[in-house]
Amino acid sequence: MALVSRRETILGAAAVAALGLSGRVVLAQAASDTKMGHFSYKIGDIDIIGVHDGYWQMPLSPGFIGNAELEDVNAALEAGGHPRDIVPINFAETVVKTGGRTILVDAGTGGQLAPTAGNMRQNLEAAGIAPSSIDTILISHFHPDHIFGLMGKEGNAQAFPDAEIMVPETELAFWTDPATRSNTPEDRRGLLDRIQATLGSWENVTPFAAGAELAPGLVAKAAFGHTPGHTAFVVSSGSDKLVIAGDIANVPALFVANPGWHAAFDMDKEMAEAARRALFDEVVADGALIAGSHFGFPHDGTLSKDDEGYRFEPMAG
Ligand SMILES: [Zn+2]
């Protein structure tokens, strides 16, 4: 096995203060661009660790954004410093240490979606977090890139058998509803079957209601639309606040800059847009930090209003 060399950058006190953070911010990146590593900071007394699972360079197709012209999408990619015709989708997860618990928010791809993703466990280890030390896993929604890391590729063996897996009750109800199954074409029922055999059956799965406090300083916040039960998590301590926003938006250059653009990934596009605008407005008004699963890496940073849309500024890049 090859050793991965990492470079670490420690943000200076001025930069940390400018971001509204406290404590020591360490950014670590692996030499290989498929293993970009981890970073950490504090929200008040609560430790936050970001880990990278990998990325997927999705070819841009005309139907990906149903209400935007392809040329406008390419122009937005270029304005964000990305090449044309490729949607750069990163996968990142967040660990929250609060109340003596080690909580993983979303479980990554499990190496089952793209050859360039599946590094979450190694990057947890690199951040000093043994996967076996994770006692709680919160799931934002049941798309494959957020849940496949819970289950083995063959046979669905639990990857975190000793953890309590907490899921939005609305999301669980939708994906395990016989009506959802009958409304889904037979050749597209694979994900439903897999969810039924895992999150729908495992004894260590606990549904939670929107608005519930799931751990000290960590509250579930309904952000329905991307999926029927898509949920954000709000972490608060002292005057600091972080919104772990899941898939409220995908690539920032596209969907943070243009919150009205409707990605193919959003199941209810109007509801997803309304949730996106409402959450973004709240983050800006509160001066909170935001973390998006697909916001690049680091996937945490600040949000501000910008023309018709918003601007995401990552902690470092
Ligand atoms: Zn996702």
**The domain that contains 207 carries what CATH number?**
3.60.15.10
14 CA distance to ligand 1 middle (Å): 33
143 CA distance to ligand 1 middle (Å): 6
Domain count, the chain: 1
**Domain presence at residue 181:** yes
Which 3 state secondary structure label does DSSP give 59?
Answer: strand
In the predicted model, residues of the chain with pLDDT beneath 50 are 1-35, 317
State pTM to two decimals. Answer: 0.89
139 CA distance to ligand 1 middle (Å): 11
Please give the biggest Cα pair distance in the chain: 56
118 CA distance to ligand 1 middle (Å): 14
**Domain presence at residue 153:** yes
12 CA distance to ligand 1 middle (Å): 32
262 CA distance to ligand 1 middle (Å): 15
115 CA distance to ligand 1 middle (Å): 16
17 CA distance to ligand 1 middle (Å): 30
13 CA distance to ligand 1 middle (Å): 33
64 CA distance to ligand 1 middle (Å): 15
**Domain presence at residue 244:** yes
What pLDDT is attached to residue 110? 97
223 CA distance to ligand 1 middle (Å): 14
- Compute the distance between CA of residue 287 and CA of residue 284 in angstroms, rounded to an integer: 5
**Domain presence at residue 55:** yes
**Domain presence at residue 35:** no
What pLDDT is attached to residue 11? 36
147 CA distance to ligand 1 middle (Å): 10
**Domain presence at residue 11:** no
What pLDDT is attached to residue 12? 38
What pLDDT is attached to residue 164? 98
18 CA distance to ligand 1 middle (Å): 29
2 CA distance to ligand 1 middle (Å): 29
Cis-peptide into 298, omega within 30 deg? yes
**Domain presence at residue 15:** no
CB atoms within 10 A of CB 232: 25
What pLDDT is attached to residue 200? 98
142 CA distance to ligand 1 middle (Å): 9
238 CA distance to ligand 1 middle (Å): 30
Range of the domain at 220: 42-314
What pLDDT is attached to residue 287? 97
89 CA distance to ligand 1 middle (Å): 9
58 CA distance to ligand 1 middle (Å): 13
What pLDDT is attached to residue 26? 40
**Domain presence at residue 13:** no
- Compute the distance between CA of residue 287 and CA of residue 71 in angstroms, rounded to an integer: 33
What pLDDT is attached to residue 31? 34
Q: What angle do CA 22, 27, 30 make, to 5 degrees?
A: 165
